[in-house]
Amino acid sequence: MRLNDLSQDRNVKVVLTGGCHDCGGRCPYYIHVVNGKAQRIEPHQEMKACVRGYGYIKRVYSPDRLKFPMKRVGERGEGRFERITWDEALDRIADVLTEVKKRYGPSAILCQGSSGSPGRLHNPAPIYRLFNMLGGCVYRWGSASAEAAYFAARVTFGTHATGHTKDDLVNSRLIILWGLNPTENIWGTNTSIHLLRAKEKGARIIYVDPRFTNTAALIATQWIPIRPGTDTAMMIAMAFVIVKSNLQDDHFLKTYTVGFDQFRDYLLGKEDGIEKTPRWAETITGVSSNMIENLAIEYSKVKPAALILSFAPGRTAFGEQFHRAGAALAAMTGNIGIPGGSPGCCDIPPVGVSPGPNMPSSPSLIPIGKNPLELQIEERGYPLSFEYRSRYKVHNSKLWDSILKGRKGGYPGDFRFFYVVCANPLNQIPNTNKGVRALLTLDFIVVQDQFINATARFADILLPATTHWERDDYMRPWLGGDYHLFGNQAIEPVGEAKSDFEIACELARRLGIEDYSEKSEGEWLKEIVFSSGDSKRDIGDYDQFRSEGMAKAKVKRPVIAFEDQIRDPEHFPFPTPSGKIEIFSRDLADLGDPRLPPIPKYIEPWEGPRDPLTEKFPLQLITFHFKTRANSNFHNIEWLRELEPHMIWINPRDAEPRGIKTGQRVRVFNDRGELWISAKVTERIMPGVVAIGQGAWYCPDEKGIDQGGCANVLTRDEAGAGGSTPTNTALVEVAKCE
C-alpha cells in the first residue's frame, strides 16, 4: 500500500524502483512517469530514502549526462571529446584490445571496476566476464571501504558476517557507535530510526569520532572526540581497565576464545614493559583517562551492550588492529551471540549481505569465470584472502604506482590499456596527482560511465551507461537487511545509453567471443534473483516480485551473528582453525609480519599525531563520506550542493592563528598535492584535526592545484598489510589563500 496514491490519473505510470549506488542504502521509492518522462518521486511508506534519493531525478536528467559514445579530440586529460557512433566506439576498442593483447599479452591490460552500481546484473561483472573469456587481465584487490574490517573478521571469527540486523538495536542497553554516523552517512536504510527506537527505550548511546556529527548531535548521549588513527590505543586501554578491575567474563573467554592470556600479557606490559593504562592511551588519543576508564567499566557492566564499529577508523594506517581490538573487547564482555550485543568487529549481519568471500546468502552476479592469468597461483593458507595471495591483482592503493613502475616495480604487468567501469579511480583512490602522471603514460583508456567524471576526462573512448531508472535490476540491502528490491525500469534510456550488460555483449561480439552469453538479459536477471538461499526462502513468484518491486525476508526476529556458536559450541564451532574466536591467531603468528601481530596491538601510525612530519604538516586530515554524495556520485547535482556546501572543517584553535574565517578560501597541502576549498570554522571538530568530505570532483587549474576539493589529492597511496586503504591517515597544513 502506498502512502500517497496519486496514480488515479491514467496518464501517470507509477513504478517502484530505487536510485541506489554505493550509497549505504537500498531504498525503494515510487517514480511517477508521464509521457515517458519521470516527473516526481514518491516516498516508500516504510523505507526512508535520503536526500540523494530525492535528487536522483536531477541526476538522471542532468545536462552533463554522458548520452552518446565519444572519442577524445584534445590532449589526454584536457577533457575535449567528440560524439561518435556506437559502432565506431566499439570497433575501435576491439581493434586496440586485440592489438595490445597480441603485442604485449593479457597482463598489459588493467581493468578497474568498482562499486558505482550495486545492481546484481549491471555492474562491472559483465566486463570481467568479457576479459576473462578474452584471455585475462589484471584486476585490483582490496575493498576501499572495509578491507581492514574484513581482514579482522576473517582472522578472528572466520567470516565477514559479524553483525546484527538493526532491528536488534532496541534490545541494547548501551550502544557505542565507534565512528558510525548513520544520520548523514547512510549505513543501511533506516538505521537511524532503529537507533532512535533504542534511545526511546532507554539505551545510552556513546559516539566516538573526531567530529561532532549530526548523529552525535541528534542521537548520542555522549560524544568522545578522539585523534584519528589512535582508536586502537583507546580500546587497548579499555581492555586494560577491564582486566585490572577483574571485570572480564572469564567463562565466556574460556569457553569460546583462544589467546586471551597472550593478550592480557600485552595489556599488562609483560611483553614490552609498557602497561597499557588509560594514561598511556590519553597521551596518544587525546581522550582523558577518566573517560576511557568510565567507558570501559560501563561497557563491562551494562549488558547487553552493542559495540558497533564503522569502517572509517579502519581506513587508517594499521586499521586492521582497530577491528581486531573491537572483537577482543566484545569477547571480554561476553556480548557476542546475544540479543542487544555485537561482536564488535565488522558490522555485517549474516543475512542478505553484500558480495564477498565468506558471506552467506550472497546472491551471485553474472558468472565471471576465472581469470586465465590466475590459474597458476600457489595456494597459501587461511586467513589471507585470495586477493592477498594473488600475483595478478594490484592493491587498490597501488594502482598508480603499478602503472608507473610495471614489472620492474614488482607489479604483475607493464600496462598499456586501461578499462574503467563503474569506477572513478582518479578521484577515489589515494594520491590523485600521481594518478594523473600514471594515466598520461598509458596507450589507451576506456571509461564506461554515466558521466564524464574526473577519470573519464583522461579517456580515449567514453561509453554511456544507463542509470537504474533505465533498466531492470535486482538489489539487496547494504550490509544485510530484511528485504529484496527489484529495480524496475521506469523510463527509456537517456540519449543512446546502453546497460552495462548490453555493452559487454556488443563488445564480445566484436572480439569474436561468440559464446559470451547463452542467456538474455532477462533470463540472467531471473537466475541471479534466485541464486541465494535468502531469495529462495523469501521470493515466491518472480513476476509478482517484479510487479510489487519488493519482497520482505521471511525472518521473524532480528538476526544475530554467532547465536548458534554461543548456544551450542559443541555442534557449532566458529569457522576458524581453532573453532573458537581467535584473540590470538596462530596463522598470523606464522606469517611473522610485525604489521599484523597475532594479538590486537596498537601500532604507532605513520603520519599520525606523533610523526615528526607534524613539524611541517601539523594537522591530521580525515576524509569522511558526505551527506549529499555517494562517493563521487551526485557531486554535480546543484540541488544537493546547495543543501550542504563542500568545505573543510577546522577548529577555531587551528583557524585563528592562521587568520582563517568561515567562508574564506584556504589552501590545504602536503608533499603530495594542494587543493583550495572554503573553510568552515567550527568547534564541531577537535583541534589538530581537519576534515574534507571525500568525493568532490578533482578539477585542477593550470598550475595543477585542485580547485574542486578532491580529498585524494592529499592522501597517501599506501596499502595496509591486511589490505586496507588508509584514506583517513594524512598530515596536511592549511593556510589562507593570498
Ligand X SMILES: Nc1nc2c(c(=O)[nH]1)N[C@H]1C(S)=C(S)[C@@H](COP(=O)(O)OP(=O)(O)OC[C@H]3O[C@@H](n4cnc5c(=O)[nH]c(N)nc54)[C@H](O)[C@@H]3O)O[C@H]1N2
Contact between 680 and 647 (Cβ < 8 Å): yes
Query: What is the smallest separation between the CB atom of 209 and ligand X, expressed in angstroms?
Result: 4
Question: Among Mo ion, ligand X, ligand SF4, none, what does residue 27 contact (CB within 5–8 Å per kind)?
Answer: ligand SF4
State how far the Cα of 175 lies from the Cα of 198, in Å rounded to an integer.
9
Beta bridge pairs of residue 630: 633
- Considering beta carbons, is residue 363 or 383 the nearer one to ligand SF4? 363
Identify the three-state secondary structure at position 584: coil
User: Which position's Cβ is nearest ligand X?
Assistant: 116
C-alpha cell at 184: 548523514
383 cis-preceded (ω within 30 degrees of 0):
yes
Q: Angle 278-285/289-301 helices, nearest 10 degrees?
A: 120
* Residue 342 binding ligand X, by CB under 6 A: no
Query: What is the smallest separation between the CB atom of 374 and ligand X, expressed in angstroms?
Result: 22
- Considering beta carbons, is residue 115 or 358 the nearer one to ligand X? 115
Q: Which of 438, 622, 647, 681 binds ligand X (CB under 6 A)?
A: 622
Question: Among ligand X, ligand SF4, Mo ion, none, what does residue 728 contact (CB within 5–8 Å per kind)?
Answer: ligand X
Burial class (CB in 10 A: 0-12, 13-18, 19+), 185: buried
- The residue behind cell 620492474 is 408
Neighbouring C-beta atoms of residue 261, cutoff 10 Å: 13
Question: Among ligand X, Mo ion, ligand SF4, none, what does residue 721 contact (CB within 5–8 Å per kind)?
Answer: none
- Considering beta carbons, is residue 51 or 699 the nearer one to ligand SF4? 51
State how far the Cα of 650 lies from the Cα of 712, in Å rounded to an integer.
18
* Residue 423 binding ligand X, by CB under 6 A: yes
- Considering beta carbons, is residue 155 or 312 the nearer one to ligand SF4? 312
Q: HEC string of 526-585?
A: HHHHCCCHHHHHHCCCHHHHHHHCEEECCCCCCCECCHHHHHCCCCCCCCCCCCCEECCC
Contact between 315 and 725 (Cβ < 8 Å): yes
What is the contact mask toward ligand X in residues 310 to 339, using x (rule: CB under 6 A)?
xxxx-xx-----------------------
* Residue 55 binding ligand X, by CB under 6 A: no
CA atoms within 13 A on the CB side of 667: 12
At 320, the amino acid letter reads E
* Residue 211 binding ligand X, by CB under 6 A: yes
720 contact partners, CB below 8 Å, separation of at least 6: 147, 148, 317, 318, 319, 320, 595, 726
- Residues from 138 through 157 that contact ligand X (CB under 6 A): 144-145
Query: What is the smallest separation between the CB atom of 641 and Mo ion, expressed in angstroms?
Result: 21
Q: What angle do CA 691, 693, 695 make, to 5 degrees?
A: 145
Q: Which of 324, 629, 680, 684 binds ligand X (CB under 6 A)?
A: 629
Q: 139-141 and 70-72: which strand pairing? A: unpaired
- Residues from 714 through 733 that contact ligand X (CB under 6 A): 715, 727-728
* Residue 451 binding ligand X, by CB under 6 A: yes
- Residues from 119 through 138 that contact ligand X (CB under 6 A): 122
- Residues from 529 through 548 that contact ligand X (CB under 6 A): none
* Residue 630 binding ligand X, by CB under 6 A: yes
Contact between 52 and 661 (Cβ < 8 Å): no
304 cis-preceded (ω within 30 degrees of 0):
yes
- Considering beta carbons, is residue 385 or 631 the nearer one to ligand X? 631
Phi-psi region for residue 197, left (φ > 0), alpha (ψ -120 to 50) or beta? alpha
* Residue 231 binding ligand X, by CB under 6 A: yes
- Considering beta carbons, is residue 162 or 428 the nearer one to Mo ion? 428
Query: What is the smallest separation between the CB atom of 696 and ligand SF4, expressed in angstroms?
Result: 17
Query: What is the smallest separation between the CB atom of 678 and ligand SF4, expressed in angstroms?
Result: 25
What is the contact mask toward ligand X in residues 241 to 260, using x (rule: CB under 6 A)?
--------------------
Beta bridge pairs of residue 445: 418
Neighbouring C-beta atoms of residue 673, cutoff 10 Å: 23
Q: Which contiguous run of DSSP H or E holds residue 61?
A: none
Query: What is the smallest separation between the CB atom of 22 and ligand SF4, expressed in angstroms?
Result: 9
Interface residues with Mo ion (CB under 5 A) are 145
Binding residue count for ligand X, defined by CB under 6 A = 65
Beta bridge pairs of residue 207: 177, 223
Query: What is the smallest separation between the CB atom of 626 and ligand SF4, expressed in angstroms?
Result: 12
670 alpha-carbon distance from chain centroid: 25
* Residue 424 binding ligand X, by CB under 6 A: yes
Q: Which of 450, 576, 651, 724 binds ligand X (CB under 6 A)?
A: 450
- Residues from 362 through 421 that contact ligand X (CB under 6 A): 421
* Residue 632 binding ligand X, by CB under 6 A: yes
Query: What is the smallest separation between the CB atom of 52 and ligand SF4, expressed in angstroms?
Result: 4
- Considering beta carbons, is residue 53 or 598 the nearer one to ligand SF4? 53
Strands in 29-34's sheet, in edge-to-edge order, are: 12-17, 29-34, 37-43
* Residue 549 binding ligand X, by CB under 6 A: no
Neighbouring C-beta atoms of residue 374, cutoff 10 Å: 17
C-alpha cell at 155: 582472522
Return the exposure string of 556-584: e unless at least 16 CB atoms fall within 10 Å of the residue's CB, then b: eebbbbbbebbeebeeeebebbbbbbbbb
Query: What is the smallest separation between the CB atom of 594 and ligand SF4, expressed in angstroms?
Result: 40
State how far the Cα of 519 lies from the Cα of 531, in Å rounded to an integer.
15
Q: Which stretch binds ligand X (CB under 6 A): 11-19, 175-183, 280-288, 534-542?
A: 175-183
What is the contact mask toward ligand X in residues 675 to 704, using x (rule: CB under 6 A)?
----------------x--xx---------
* Residue 422 binding ligand X, by CB under 6 A: yes
Compute the chain's Rg from CA coordinates.
25
Interface residues with ligand SF4 (CB under 6 A) are 18-20, 23-27, 49-50, 52-53, 186, 189, 630
Q: Which of 626, 669, 697, 698 binds ligand X (CB under 6 A)?
A: 626
Query: What is the smallest separation between the CB atom of 521 and ligand SF4, expressed in angstroms?
Result: 22
- Considering beta carbons, is residue 50 or 691 the nearer one to ligand SF4? 50
Query: What is the smallest separation between the CB atom of 360 and ligand SF4, expressed in angstroms?
Result: 23
State how far the Cα of 186 lies from the Cα of 183, in Å rounded to an integer.
6
- Considering beta carbons, is residue 191 or 565 the nearer one to ligand SF4? 191
Question: Among ligand X, ligand SF4, Mo ion, none, what does residue 17 contact (CB within 5–8 Å per kind)?
Answer: none
294 alpha-carbon distance from chain centroid: 32
Q: Which of 190, 385, 453, 651 binds ligand X (CB under 6 A)?
A: 453
- Considering beta carbons, is residue 50 or 89 the nearer one to ligand SF4? 50
Neighbouring C-beta atoms of residue 493, cutoff 10 Å: 18
C-alpha dist (Å) from residue 103 to 135, 414, 415, 513 = 14, 12, 12, 19
State how far the Cα of 185 lies from the Cα of 33, in Å rounded to an integer.
29
725 contact partners, CB below 8 Å, separation of at least 6: 142, 143, 144, 147, 315, 396, 397, 429, 430, 719
Query: What is the smallest separation between the CB atom of 53 and ligand X, expressed in angstroms?
Result: 11
Query: What is the smallest separation between the CB atom of 709 and ligand SF4, expressed in angstroms?
Result: 21
Residues forming contacts to ligand X in the complex (CB under 6 A) are 21-24, 114-117, 122, 144-145, 178-181, 184-186, 208-211, 213, 226, 228-229, 231, 310-313, 315-316, 421-425, 428, 448-451, 453, 465, 500, 622-627, 629-633, 691, 694-695, 711-712, 715, 727-728
